[in-house]
Amino acid sequence: MELIKQGAEAKIYLADFEEFFGVDLLPGERVIVKHRIPKRYRIKEIDARLRKERTVREARILHRAREFGVNCPHVYEVDLRDMKIAMEFIDGERLREHLERIPLADRLELCREIGKQVGKLHRAGLVHGDLTTSNMILRDGNVYLIDFGLADFDSTLEARGVDLHLLRRAMESTHYTWADEGFGAVLEGYAEVLGEDARREIEEKLGEIESRGRYREREWAG
């Protein structure tokens, strides 16, 4: 297995299907293996419980998301002894880079697709928790969401608003020259899935979240 990413909570490996499972059911297929690593600073029993809960939750979220039509990795296996999830490797190009190389009209069309995927996710009663174009892959013309480590079961308007607020802030940072148009297209795609009433509701919540942020900034400045 090849270590391709190491975060605070987990190590991410890329492996051949046969190498990991010992059988060649999917010739040439590669898998992502996410291993939640032990934390020595935590009490051993608490650490084991937290890693198990988070591993199970992520696998359940991915399964539910796919049931609701979200493009995301398929879970092949959950190992609760070593706290590993083996999932489909989405072989494609990160949207963060791809969006900067194509004409604006094509960018906006992909942003509408992002909005549709987020709409399906929210319709499933889920939030991603880390919506950025770095956590989105373009494969065969389709937008896939990846890295559900911070995702949760939460259908509240507040949680959905925060999810989209984080996406807007990420776009303003990464795609600042066209972020307003891009996020507008995201909301168009969102409305295609959830309807215009849902769009108006989420836009009101986004305005409220932004106002709270500006108020806190003034408090810090004062």
Give catalytic residue positions: 130
Contacts with 67 (C-beta within 8 Å, 6 or more apart), sequence order: 124
Which residues sit opposite 15 in a β-bridge? 31
16: phi > 0 → left, psi -120 to 50 → alpha, else beta; which? beta
* The two three-digit tokens of residue 169, written as one number: 């802030």
Q: Residue 123 — φ and ψ, nearest 5°?
A: -65, -30
Give the separation between CA 84 and CA 156, rounded to whole angstroms: 29
Give the separation between CA 93 and CA 99, rounded to whole angstroms: 10
